[in-house]
Chains A and B, each alone.
Chain A
Amino acid sequence: MKNKTLLIRILISLLGIALIASCGSQGSNNGALGGDAAAQVYVAPGEQDEFYAFISGGFSGQLTVHGLPSCRLLKTIPVFSVDGEKGYGFNEETKPLLNTSHGFIPWDDSHHPELSQTNGETDGRWVFINGNNTPRVARVDLSLFETVEIIELPNSGGNHSSPFTTMNTEYVVAGTRFGVPVPQKDQSIKNYASKFKGALSFIKVDPESGEMSLAFQVLMPAFDYDLAHAGKGKSHGWMFFSSYNTEESHTLLEVNASQNDKDFIAAVNWKKAEEFLAQGKAHKMPARYAHNLFDEKTQTATSTIMTEVNVLLPEECPGLVYFMPTPKSPHGVDVNPTGEYIVGSGKLSANLTAHSFTNMLDAIENEKFDGDAYGIPILNFDDTVAGVVESGGLGPLHTEFDDRGNAYTSFFITSEVVKWEVGTWEVLDRAPSYYSIGHLMVPGGDSQKPEGKYLVAMNKITKDRFLPTGPEVAQSAQLYDISGDKMKLLYDFPTMGEPHYAQGISAGRIIPNSKKIFRLEDNEHPHAIKNEAESKVVRNGNTVRVYMTSIRSHFAPDNIEGIRVGDEVYFHITNLEQDYDVPHGFSVMGAQNAELLIMPGQTETLLWKPLYEGVYPFYCTDFCSALHQEMQGYVRVSPKGSNTPITWNVGG
């Protein structure tokens, strides 16, 4: 009898397992079961995510790194704003990165990350991001996940349509959102239409080092250049910029810049521009802009003020630029993976416009122009358009693509993602966003090789999606599964504010290059010391340089005397560790800047100006070992003019 009961029990439980298993497989196929959304974003402890997502930090000025599908925040990379956590912009090594023609600037508004590409595919080498307010483009090295270069843009105001890259990262671009007098000068704002200009900048990227240089600018009418995307495949060699305010208004733009039925997508033939440059057609204009470069060997950034820029004038360079009329203030201008369709999202309209690159070339060849604007030929809308997506939504902003011939467009006003088919222009699916989506991102979705598994929606409004945190609520993004026919919302996650645009890439393209430490023998910092015996304190006038080392779990020296009020004390600290994930921090009481956070093998410098006599402690801020709390020391500060000799020691 007993045995029989047991047998029945086993049968029942086996049946249960079979049912569960069949549910599971069904769920992963159609993605329609609500219950398994949690499993889809669950990355078990110790497991790693499949994709990296680089999400703009908006008005934080930074760039955040998340893992997908877990959406976990992995790192905040400081780019345009100082970051006390990492000493970025506070230590002497990184201060020059934030230099501009307006001096040191501790903040900016970062909008659009863009991964470097090779043969139209994201290659995981660098990510570029624009600074919108004081126009700049930064390059983040993805072996370090640190900002290594920032270039300022002259003749610009509001670097918004940036930094989109060409197929082999020949160029990243930077189009100005604001028209400004070129060159900048005292000028009546009323003369906007006649005296102001809009520069489109082409930044050349060295294929080996990644170093940026401002190759040339195309001086355009003072429209507001909003976004851009490069041609690819057949349209490689062209760059497309969306524009609004073709009315050239300078006041109450919400009304005055919304009058024209159509604005323009500017198609710039950059290969032709290279020919014009070679022919000497460029005007060498005086300009002032900073070029800041971090040298990994010396671990120090330098800032150089550049004084000249090559400027091409479209009216002198036939064939350089054409305008494609596109309805209602287009925001996104997005090129599908084959490079044939250029999709304009008219943000004040319901529909999307897909221009055909083939049609565009044909119209140009046959000179089918509908007049010109400031000498730039205008193509006929009917000649270039290949299809219109009757979306049923309102306020399309931005489109990305998958690897199955579909496109995904964000609709701000109707707060939704609309999936449609390239070529038939038919809407296939729509999913609400919470709330008011801006940009969206599919990993590789603006390259030739999208990986259409997930979509990240970056929202402008959060309201009640998370626990309330006073008037200012979390910034938010959402993850969708787009692998099936129907899009499926998986997860809400908070981001840094505000998330404008993002890039995603398979983790496997980045992991092999990610550095674990800086090798001490490669450290060429001018104030590095390679072992404890070299530590010293050197006075030169009222400048005192402390050459210090850190290793678990002490600083050398850790007792310093002979500093006087009025001295400028530079702590040059070399982290002697050569082990993964053993940074040491350094902070000293009364420092008016921040801490240092020094990676293994790295040297960083903190400037300290003691104001009053006394004895001040310093300590390691990054918990490094069981004896971290013992990792501390003292600096004695004597009155101005005192004779206390400079001495230093550790353990003596």
Chain B
Amino acid sequence: MRKKPTIIMLTAALLLLLLFTVPLWKITLSAPQYPDGLKMYLNIDGISDGGTGDLKNINIMNHYVGMKEIDQEDFKEFEIIPLIVIGLVLSGIIFALLKKRSLILLWIVIFALLGIIGLYVFYQWEYEYGHNLDPKAAIKVPGAAYQPPLLGKKEILNFIAGSYPHIGAYLILISMSLAAYSWYLLKENK
């Protein structure tokens, strides 16, 4: 019986390795001229469009209103996030083997804090892109900002922008839930 919480906690930690293969977040832009929509994904190590060329097209759209080009090189966050994930995996494994409730709780709290920080950083990016506009832009709408929503849908000029968690975000929730369950089981076993 003592093995079960360990196995669950190990699963919670190892599950995070999948974050290297699936996106965390998805941003979509749709307009009548884009029946299939434009899609952009946030991964833990960068921005992608799944090879569709959509990122380039989003940048072309954005340049008319003076938004900065979305360029992966500008984000040093993407160098750090994979390290954080590896740190979470390793610490999760160690804590699982140590079977200490307090450590697992610590893991969950740190993880949650990192998640909140992550969302805050994401919001900051969006704010920056939506408000820091080139004064020489071809199309200037007085008072307009083009900040995409943090979560949900929002109308931005002729586009409807959508921002939703993707598989990676759900994996994080599952991982946290598993850790919490492990924490709970350890309590029972005492």
User: Is the pair A578, B139 in contact by a Cβ cutoff of 8 Å?
Assistant: no
Per-residue 0/1 for A569-593: is the Cβ within 8 Å of any B Cβ (1 yes, 0 no)? 0000000011100000000000000
Does A32 sit within 8 A of B, measured CB to CB?
A: no
The total of Cβ contacts below 8 Å across the A-B interface reads: 18
Give the bracket for the number of chain A residues in contact with chain B: 10 to 19
Does B170 sit within 8 A of A, measured CB to CB?
A: no
Does A255 sit within 8 A of B, measured CB to CB?
A: no
CB distance from B114 to the nearest CB of A (A): 35
Does B57 sit within 8 A of A, measured CB to CB?
A: yes
Does B152 sit within 8 A of A, measured CB to CB?
A: no
Which of B53, B60, B64, B138 is the one whose CB lies under 8 Å from A551?
A: B60
User: Is the pair A578, B64 in contact by a Cβ cutoff of 8 Å?
Assistant: no
Residues from chain A with a CB closer than 8 A to the CB of B64 are 625-627
Does B140 sit within 8 A of A, measured CB to CB?
A: no
A579/B53 contact (C-beta < 8 A), A551-B60, A626-B64 known: yes
Could you tell me the distance between the alpha carbons of A254 and B56 in the complex, rounded to whole angstroms? 64
User: Is the pair A579, B57 in contact by a Cβ cutoff of 8 Å?
Assistant: yes
User: Is the pair A578, B56 in contact by a Cβ cutoff of 8 Å?
Assistant: yes
A627/B60 contact (C-beta < 8 A), A517-B53, A579-B53 known: no
A578/B53 contact (C-beta < 8 A), A551-B60, A552-B60 known: yes
Residues from chain A with a CB closer than 8 A to the CB of B57 are 578-579
Find the residue from A577, A578, A626, A627 having the highest chain B CB count within 10 A: A578
Residues from chain B with a CB closer than 8 A to the CB of A552 are 60
- Give the dominant DSSP class at A's interface: loop
User: Is the pair B138, A627 in contact by a Cβ cutoff of 8 Å?
Assistant: yes
Given contacts A579-B60, A625-B64, 16 further A-B contacts (CB under 8 A): A517-B53, A551-B60, A552-B60, A577-B60, A578-B53, A578-B56, A578-B57, A579-B53, A579-B56, A579-B57, A626-B64, A626-B138, A626-B139, A627-B64, A627-B138, A630-B138
Residues from chain A with a CB closer than 8 A to the CB of B138 are 626-627, 630
Could you tell me the distance between the alpha carbons of A578 and B49 in the complex, rounded to whole angstroms? 12
Find the residue from B57, B60, B64, B138 having the highest chain A CB count within 10 A: B60
CB distance from B31 to the nearest CB of A (A): 12
Residues from chain A with a CB closer than 8 A to the CB of B139 are 626
Q: In residues 616-652 of chain A, which contact B (Cβ within 8 Å)? A: 625-627, 630
Chain A minimum-CB-distance residue to B138: A627
Residues from chain B with a CB closer than 8 A to the CB of A627 are 64, 138
Q: In residues 110-146 of chain B, which contact A (Cβ within 8 Å)? A: 138-139
Give the top 6 A-B pairs by smallest Cβ distance, nearest first: A578-B53, A579-B57, A552-B60, A578-B56, A627-B138, A626-B64
Could you tell me the distance between the alpha carbons of A577 and B57 in the complex, rounded to whole angstroms? 8
Could you tell me the distance between the alpha carbons of A517 and B60 in the complex, rounded to whole angstroms? 16
Chain B minimum-CB-distance residue to A630: B138
Could you tell me the distance between the alpha carbons of A552 and B138 in the complex, rounded to whole angstroms? 12
CB distance from A512 to the nearest CB of B (A): 15
Q: List 6 A-B contacts (CB under 8 A).
A: A578-B57, A579-B53, A579-B60, A625-B64, A627-B138, A630-B138
CB distance from A574 to the nearest CB of B (A): 14
Could you tell me the distance between the alpha carbons of A551 and B59 in the complex, rounded to whole angstroms? 12
Residues from chain B with a CB closer than 8 A to the CB of A630 are 138
CB distance from A164 to the nearest CB of B (A): 39
Q: In residues 32-90 of chain B, which contact A (Cβ within 8 Å)? A: 53, 56-57, 60, 64
Residues from chain B with a CB closer than 8 A to the CB of A517 are 53
Could you tell me the distance between the alpha carbons of A578 and B38 in the complex, rounded to whole angstroms? 12
Could you tell me the distance between the alpha carbons of A630 and B63 in the complex, rounded to whole angstroms? 15
CB distance from A646 to the nearest CB of B (A): 29
CB distance from B46 to the nearest CB of A (A): 19
Find the residue from B53, B56, B64, B138 having the highest chain A CB count within 10 A: B53
Residues from chain B with a CB closer than 8 A to the CB of A577 are 60
CB distance from B144 to the nearest CB of A (A): 15
Could you tell me the distance between the alpha carbons of A625 and B158 in the complex, rounded to whole angstroms? 13
CB distance from A63 to the nearest CB of B (A): 28
Q: In residues 441-474 of chain A, which contact B (Cβ within 8 Å)? A: none
Could you tell me the distance between the alpha carbons of A630 and B138 in the complex, rounded to whole angstroms? 10
Could you tell me the distance between the alpha carbons of A552 and B57 in the complex, rounded to whole angstroms? 10
Residues from chain A with a CB closer than 8 A to the CB of B53 are 517, 578-579
Residues from chain B with a CB closer than 8 A to the CB of A551 are 60
CB distance from B135 to the nearest CB of A (A): 15
Chain A minimum-CB-distance residue to B53: A578
Could you tell me the distance between the alpha carbons of A551 and B64 in the complex, rounded to whole angstroms? 12
CB distance from B29 to the nearest CB of A (A): 12
Residues from chain B with a CB closer than 8 A to the CB of A579 are 53, 56-57, 60
Could you tell me the distance between the alpha carbons of A578 and B138 in the complex, rounded to whole angstroms? 22
CB distance from A553 to the nearest CB of B (A): 8
Per-residue 0/1 for A41-72: is the Cβ within 8 Å of any B Cβ (1 yes, 0 no)? 00000000000000000000000000000000
CB distance from B155 to the nearest CB of A (A): 18
Could you tell me the distance between the alpha carbons of A625 and B139 in the complex, rounded to whole angstroms? 12
Per-residue 0/1 for A542-582: is the Cβ within 8 Å of any B Cβ (1 yes, 0 no)? 00000000011000000000000000000000000111000
Q: In residues 323-341 of chain A, which contact B (Cβ within 8 Å)? A: none
CB distance from A578 to the nearest CB of B (A): 4
CB distance from A92 to the nearest CB of B (A): 27
Residues from chain A with a CB closer than 8 A to the CB of B60 are 551-552, 577, 579
Could you tell me the distance between the alpha carbons of A229 and B125 in the complex, rounded to whole angstroms? 66
CB distance from A414 to the nearest CB of B (A): 48
Chain A minimum-CB-distance residue to B158: A626
Could you tell me the distance between the alpha carbons of A551 and B53 in the complex, rounded to whole angstroms? 14
Could you tell me the distance between the alpha carbons of A640 and B13 in the complex, rounded to whole angstroms? 75
Could you tell me the distance between the alpha carbons of A517 and B57 in the complex, rounded to whole angstroms? 13
CB distance from B117 to the nearest CB of A (A): 35
Could you tell me the distance between the alpha carbons of A474 and B16 in the complex, rounded to whole angstroms? 68
Could you tell me the distance between the alpha carbons of A577 and B60 in the complex, rounded to whole angstroms? 9
Residues from chain A with a CB closer than 8 A to the CB of B56 are 578-579
Could you tell me the distance between the alpha carbons of A627 and B63 in the complex, rounded to whole angstroms? 11
Could you tell me the distance between the alpha carbons of A578 and B60 in the complex, rounded to whole angstroms? 10
Chain A minimum-CB-distance residue to B38: A579
CB distance from A100 to the nearest CB of B (A): 39
Could you tell me the distance between the alpha carbons of A630 and B139 in the complex, rounded to whole angstroms? 13
Chain B minimum-CB-distance residue to A517: B53
Could you tell me the distance between the alpha carbons of A578 and B56 in the complex, rounded to whole angstroms? 8
CB distance from B70 to the nearest CB of A (A): 15
Chain B minimum-CB-distance residue to A551: B60
Residues from chain B with a CB closer than 8 A to the CB of A626 are 64, 138-139
Could you tell me the distance between the alpha carbons of A578 and B57 in the complex, rounded to whole angstroms? 7
CB distance from A406 to the nearest CB of B (A): 40
Could you tell me the distance between the alpha carbons of A139 and B42 in the complex, rounded to whole angstroms? 44
Chain B minimum-CB-distance residue to A579: B57
Could you tell me the distance between the alpha carbons of A569 and B56 in the complex, rounded to whole angstroms? 31
CB distance from B54 to the nearest CB of A (A): 8
CB distance from B161 to the nearest CB of A (A): 18
Could you tell me the distance between the alpha carbons of A615 and B140 in the complex, rounded to whole angstroms? 32
CB distance from B138 to the nearest CB of A (A): 6
Could you tell me the distance between the alpha carbons of A627 and B139 in the complex, rounded to whole angstroms? 10
CB distance from B63 to the nearest CB of A (A): 8
Could you tell me the distance between the alpha carbons of A517 and B138 in the complex, rounded to whole angstroms? 27
Could you tell me the distance between the alpha carbons of A466 and B64 in the complex, rounded to whole angstroms? 46
Q: In residues 155-177 of chain A, which contact B (Cβ within 8 Å)? A: none
Could you tell me the distance between the alpha carbons of A551 and B57 in the complex, rounded to whole angstroms? 10
CB distance from A114 to the nearest CB of B (A): 33
CB distance from B184 to the nearest CB of A (A): 50
